[in-house]
Chains A and B, each alone.
Chain A
Amino acid sequence: MAGNKDLQTSEVKTKKEKRIDVIVFILLSLGAVAMVFPLIYMVCASFMTKGQILSGKFSLIPRPFKSGTYHEVIFESNFLQGVRNTMLVEIPVLIVGGFTSSLAAFSFSKLRFKGKGGIFLGLLATMMIPFAVIMIPQYVMFTRWGITDSLLPLILPGLFGNVSMIFFLRQNLTSVPYEFVEAAKIDGCGYFKMYYSIFFPLMKGAVMTQIILWFMGIWNDYLAPTIFVANDKWHTLQVVIRQFNSQYAVNSNYPLIMTASVLALIPTLLLFFFFQRFIIESMAISGVKG
């Protein structure tokens, strides 16, 4: 032990403090392991045979180790079709919706126009409306429009922007001084040019974070796809996973169900691990600012 000299922090921890640190760390580690344990078990179970799980004995290590279930889920089911459908929703929504949201956020933050406060409040109020209220009218609307046979019910609403993204980006722009707008005006810069050559670059980081969060939201969404999309051909990944569950739970094919769930989790987990600093930061901001 090199001793206290190595402590770079300004405050030197006492022996008692250090002992508390050790206890706290152990307790928190136990909690953290308990938190991820079900997920670890899910991964283990996905490599087990049906027989091993149904034996009723606790075991973590798959014996025999069976990876064929992954091949079965990916290539012999409609799993890939589900992924494709989800991506067909993600791409247009994130590109167009990301554009409309950031443009609106710029306008709400930096431009002067009539009814600004009212429109903004109206948009914010929608965050309080339960999905259950608009679910039936939207279902009727999409049926009348004749689009329940496609992914359009999931794509269309997203194209108009996302309220929490607008709110977050607007918050982000408050730190940019108004002089930027004035200087641009003097140079004869148009409003749209002002958005894409000055303000969009300034909020690029925040836009990226919000797009990642939105991506995860669409990826994980189950309710809208299951209600609004009538044709099996257009089922998104979450709906496919859920169907696996109801189909295979009957004959207790848990390895297959767990495999499908593991695969459905991987993309969001990867995104989270790579961008966790930004994701956690924006989560914390939304909470502290209310």
Chain B
Amino acid sequence: MGKRNNTPQKKRMSKAAFRENCYGLAFVAPPFIGFLVFMAFPIVFAFVASLTTWNGMNNMLEHFVGFNNYIKLFTDAKFWKVLGHTVTYMIGIPIGMFLGVFIAMGMNRKIKGIRILRTMYYVPVISSLVAVAILWAFVFNYDNGLFNVIIKAITGQKGPNWLGNPFWVKVSMIIFMTWKGLGTSIILYLSGLQSIPRDYYEAAKIDGASGWTLFKNITWPLVSPVTFYLLITGMIGGFQVFVEVLVMLPKGGLNYSAATVVFYLYDKFAANKYGYASAMAFLLAIFIFIITFINFKGQDKWVKTID
């Protein structure tokens, strides 16, 4: 031992550095072990399962079918249908951004009492998804729901069958999801706006720029990091929409008209088609990965930062 320490061979760790190395690793060991057991292993497992027709009872490896599940998915009309719905729901992302940036601009003015409003906009974000989905299913109820009761009181006619019609059910879901997430967009845009130096606007005003020009040339480019973040997180979340549909329309809506990819996946999982469900899950992960990657690649082109 002593001998080793005295011979300065290559670059050897000092005793103190070795100690720090051990402690450092030991302190991050719990999350790392958690990562291996509950993340890394399941991911590998899911990939292997996706190459089989495993149903939970049979021997997984004896039912190896290669990429058959993936090929089957590409010709599965139901899969394309639910993928279409999932993407349709993402219309809510730009709507949320649009509303979010304008509301945040209003809140960025120094007006007394504006903070209370901020809280009100944020309440849906921290509310339990199940509870508010139950609430909105009631709001959209055809006969006695809040919307149709109000529509009837105003126009005297019955409103649309929000959740029962293949078109209106998508409108309903988009309204619901936009309502739930709007607070996040507002808070993030607000903090983005607050980081823009005031001189920028004053300089532009001296040059005679109008409100719209100010927005187009200063505000919008300088909050682009927030827009970028909202787009990425919105799409990652958008591909995983599930509980919303499950609670509001337990059967996925009339003719499956509200079902999303994860909803379909869950159906297959519940029917013990673990192999097929895993393939779908993997495809979903790949979609998410590609979209995140494209977004990051394209980031330099449109995301501006101050300085």
Residues of A within 8 A of B (CB): 9, 20-21, 24-25, 27-29, 31-33, 35-36, 38-39, 41-42, 45, 53-58, 100-101, 103-104, 106-108, 111-116, 119, 122-123, 126, 128-141, 157, 159-161, 163, 166, 185, 191-192, 195, 216, 219-220, 222-223, 238, 241-242, 245-246, 249, 252, 254, 257-258, 261-262, 264-265, 268-269, 272-273, 276, 279-280, 283-284, 287-288, 290
| Docked-complex contact A31 and B131, CB < 8 angstroms | no
Does the CB pair B284–A133 fall under 8 Å?
yes
Q: Which of A41, A185, A290 contacts B146 (CB 8 A)?
A: A41
Chain B residues with CB under 8 Å of A131's CB are 240
- Docked complex Cα distance between A227 and B142 (Å): 31
Chain B residues closer than 8 Å to A140, beta-carbon distance: 45, 56, 274
With A129-B43, A268-B128, A283-B188 in contact, is A111–B30 under 8 Å at CB? no
Query: B280's closest neighbor in chain A, by CB?
Result: A132
Chain A CB within 8 A of B173 CB: no
Q: Are A288 and B188 in contact (CB under 8 A)?
A: yes
B35-A122 in contact (CB<8A):
yes
**CB under 8 Å from chain A, chain B span 21-58:** 21-25, 27-28, 30-35, 37-43, 45-46, 49, 56
B267 at interface, CB cutoff 8 A: no
* Distance of A238 Cα from B274 Cα, bound (Å): 26
A288-B195, A290-B229 known; A119 vs B109 contact (CB < 8 Å): no
The reply to whether B288 and A36 form a contact with Cβ atoms under 8 Å apart is no
B192, CB-defined interface residue at 8 Å = yes
Whether B20 and A113, one on each chain, are in contact in the complex, defined by CB atoms closer than 8 angstroms, is yes
A to B CB contacts below 8 Å, 28 in the list: A21-B111, A28-B107, A31-B103, A32-B121, A35-B121, A38-B179, A57-B153, A100-B30, A103-B30, A106-B27, A113-B21, A113-B24, A113-B25, A129-B39, A130-B281, A132-B265, A134-B38, A134-B39, A134-B43, A136-B49, A159-B30, A191-B27, A222-B128, A254-B144, A272-B126, A280-B187, A283-B184, A283-B188
Q: What separation, in Å, do the CA atoms of A140 and B57 have in the docked complex?
A: 11
A220 to B282: give the CA distance in the assembly, Å. 26
Shortest CB-to-CB span from B124 to chain A, Å, is 7
Asked whether A58 lies within 8 Å of B188 as measured between CB atoms, the reply is no
A53-B144, A290-B229 known; 10 new pairs, CB 8 Å cut-off, are A38-B132, A39-B132, A56-B149, A137-B42, A191-B20, A222-B128, A245-B134, A269-B123, A287-B184, A288-B192
Separation of A31 and B99 alpha carbons in the complex (Å): 10
Interface of A is mostly: helix
C-alpha spacing A128/B240, complex, angstroms: 11
CB distance from A164 to the nearest CB of B (A): 11
**Smallest CB gap from A272: residue in B:** B126
Name the A residues within 8 Å of B24 (CB-CB).
107, 111-113, 116, 191
Q: Are A104 and B131 in contact (CB under 8 A)?
A: no
Q: Does A160 contact B269, Cβ atoms closer than 8 Å?
A: no
Closest residue of B by beta carbon distance from A34: B179
Cross-chain contact B46 with A134 (CB below 8 angstroms): yes
- Name the residue of chain A whose CB is nearest to the CB of B39: A126
Segment 174-214 of B: residues with Cβ below 8 Å from A: 179, 182-184, 187-188, 190-192, 195
Interface pair A287/B119, CB less than 8 Å apart = no
> In the complex, are the beta carbons of A38 and B35 less than 8 A apart?
no
CB closest residue in chain A, given B230: A287
CA distance A223 to B263 in the complex (A): 12
> How many angstroms from the CA of A216 to the CA of B240 in the assembled complex?
20
**For residue B168, which residues in chain A have a CB less than 8 angstroms away from its CB?**
none
**If the complex has contacts A25-B111, A192-B23, are A101 and B31 also in contact, measured as CB distance less than 8 A?**
yes
At the interface, yes or no: B162 with Cβ under 8 Å from chain A? no
Per-residue CB proximity of B110-129 to A under 8 Å, as 1/0? 11011011111111101111
> A103: which B residues are within 8 A, CB to CB?
27, 30
Complex formed: what's the CA distance from A239 to B143 in Å?
A: 26
B282: nearest residue on chain A (CB-CB)?
A133
- Asked if A111 contacts B191 (CB within 8 A), the reply is no
Instruction: Contacts A222-B129, A265-B131 given; indicate if A288 touches B226 (C-beta within 8 A).
Output: yes
A104 to B26, CA, bound (A): 9
Kindly provide the distance from the CB of B120 to the nearest chain A CB, expressed in whole angstroms.
4
Confirm or deny: B218 has a beta carbon within 8 angstroms of a beta carbon on chain A: no
Query: Known: A32-B120, A56-B143, A134-B46. Is A287-B191 also a contact (CB below 8 A)?
Result: yes
Contact B35 A126 (CB under 8 A): yes
Decide if A134 touches B184 in the complex (CB within 8 Å).
Answer: no
CB A281 to nearest CB in B, in angstroms, measures 9
